[in-house]
Structure 1
Amino acid sequence: MNHFNICPVCEHQSTCVLTAQKDKVWSCSEFDKRQPNQPISASIKQPEQELVLI
């Protein structure tokens, strides 16, 4: 049995909702390989915020 798992190197790992069984994923249509030395949090896009004066 092949135990290859792509989730640990995917940049969407921390926000992925496609499956809860991330230890058994060998193929995924949303997979984007995380760049070396890129922390997982760097792949999370933060919404742009606008300063509002009150």
Structure 2
Amino acid sequence: MTELERTLLSALEKFEQRQTEQQRALDSVSNALERVSSEYESLSQQVTILQRQLDELKT
């Protein structure tokens, strides 16, 4: 294997490693966004219920 081939192989391995790390980071962010979205939906439903209860108390 020539020096150029070794250099290219090393660069490719580093590139692939960075891609893997970036994909893991993206997956982590995606999972966090899903959790936040789910929590927001739950809180939104609770607010709606509380608003209805408040309206009932006012009447």
Could you say whether these structures have the same fold, taking a TM-score greater than 0.5 normalized by the shorter chain as the test? no
Larger Rg, first or second structure (1 or 2): 2
Between Structure 1 and Structure 2, the one with more helix by share is 2
What TM-score does the superposition give when structure 1 sets the normalisation length? 0.31
What TM-score does the superposition give when structure 2 sets the normalisation length? 0.30
